[in-house]
Amino acid sequence: MGRVNLLFIVFIIAMVGSNLTSLNRNLNKLNDAIDHSLLTMEQDLLGGFALNYGILKLSCGDVKMAGEDQVWETPGFLLSRGEIDSICYVAGEGDTVEVIPYIRNWQGNSSIASNSRALLDFFITQPEDQFAYYMMDEGSGTTLTDSSGLGFDGTMIDMDDSNWVPSVNGTGLTFDGNDDYVDLGNAITGEYDDNLTVAAWVQMLPDSPVEWGNIITENSDNLGNQLTGFTLRVKGKYVGHPYLEFEFEVTTLNGKEKVNITVHDWEMDLFDWHFIAGILDMDNQLIMVGVVDEDKWAIANITASGMPVKDSLGPITIGHIVGAPNGQGRKSGITGSLDSMRTIADVMTIDQLLQLMLYDGIKVPKIIEWSS
């Protein structure tokens, strides 16, 4: 019996050993499967994050598609055992773009396309607080249509079809600096309280006088005196050391708050179209003026505690201050052309202004297809 028992024990040990070996192999396979699943989950998680980040870059204008593929090198987003290597933007038909994140795994140090990807299209939207927007695309007549939806149409004074000229966006208006202007009415002044952005395309003429010309202004009497409101204006010098000077001025309870920027001919073409913006940021106590297309800005601190009560009779005008002809020492009419005039009761960021400039609105991506 002892010999039989010994053989039985040896048999049992062999069976257990075989089962343990099989179990070990199965455990290794399970571990590999778990590792692979975790890696796939991490890749999908990181890919989804990268995809949303890539869409955000399109939304804010950091990545601009112009019919060509783009690659965004990310600033090193890390997650578990991987990181976002880059995001590829592939231009498609029409205005579509495919967003493909690439993930780098720390173990293999290889970059692979994530399972998460999206096909996007775009739509153009306007700023939510835009209270007057003049596209100036009529091309004839004496009425400027307000495209903000609020109905603040403008009436052209001492102007006719000869004032319509080709511009950066179809047609625009040219002004002689004497007595022609567009009257936007006085109801428009109640549409903003404190924060404000005004912007327009501006083109100066070589024979423009060396004096201030108003692009857009809000004044409170009929004698050219700005008692409340704002003014965006330009002055040029075209001999010696030519330059353009842009000024944005706002009347607050603390008096006049203004900022200037001077741009010389060696910095930009003075007679080309330029997108000019003035910004009042009461929340951060700042006032700004800039040439958006050249990314040139002047920023000043202000001490404003609030806006004065607006005069109900003071109109907002484009191209001139009412009752202040040139040659009387007043800041008055512009000699040049204007297009796409906007007034917005909010502080627009520089990125948003770039979007307005490039697309005549803010280009916002929308998802057509999403895969992960």
* Structure-token pair, residue 40: 């796939």
Q: In this structure, is the dihedral angle defined by the CA atoms of residues 318, 324, 326 and 330, taken in order, positive or negative?
A: negative
Contact 46, 103 (CB under 8 A): yes
Q: What does the pLDDT read at residue 216?
A: 94
Which has the closest alpha carbon to 360: 194, 122, 17? Answer: 122
What pLDDT, in 10s, does the model give residues 206-230?
876 667 889 999 875 666 666 788 9
Q: What does the pLDDT read at residue 92?
A: 87
- Who has greater pLDDT, 83 or 34? 83
* Structure-token pair, residue 126: 């306007």
Q: Which residues 6+ apart lie within 8 Å of 25 measured at CB?
A: none
Least confident of 58-62, 101-105, 172-176: 58-62
Side chain identity, residue 295: D
Q: What does the pLDDT read at residue 258?
A: 94
Q: Is residue 129 scored above 50 in pLDDT?
A: yes
Mean pLDDT of the chain: 83
pTM of the complete model: 0.77
Looking at domain 130-347, its CATH architecture is: Sandwich (2.60)
Separation CA 348–CA 60 (nearest Å): 12
Mean pLDDT of 166-176: 93
SS (H, E, C) the chain: CHHHHHHHHHHHHHHHHHHHHHHHHHHHHHHHHHHHHHHHHHHHHHHHHHHHHHHHHHHCCCCCCCCCCEEEECCCCEECCEEEEEEEEEECCCCCEEEEEEEEECCCCCEEECCCEEEEEEEEECCCCEEEEECCCCCCCCEECECCCCCCCEEEECCCHHHEEEECCEEEEEEECCCCEEECCCHHHHHCCCCEEEEEEEEECCCCCCCCEEEEEECCCCCCCCCCEEEEEEEEECCCCCEEEEEEEEEECCEEEEEEEEEECCCCCCCCCEEEEEEEECCCCEEEEEEHHHCEEEEEECCCCCCCCCCCCCCEEECCCCCCCCCCCCCEECEEEEEEEEEECCCCCHHHHHHHHHHCCEEEEEEEEEEC
- Who has greater pLDDT, 67 or 15? 67
- Who has greater pLDDT, 174 or 229? 174
Domain boundaries, the chain: 2-125, 130-347
Block residue for tokens 């038909």: 93
What pLDDT, in 10s, does the model give residues 240-282?
889 999 999 999 998 899 999 999 999 999 999 999 999 999 9
Q: What does the pLDDT read at residue 186?
A: 85
Q: What does the pLDDT read at residue 164?
A: 97
Q: Is residue 148 scored above 60 in pLDDT?
A: yes
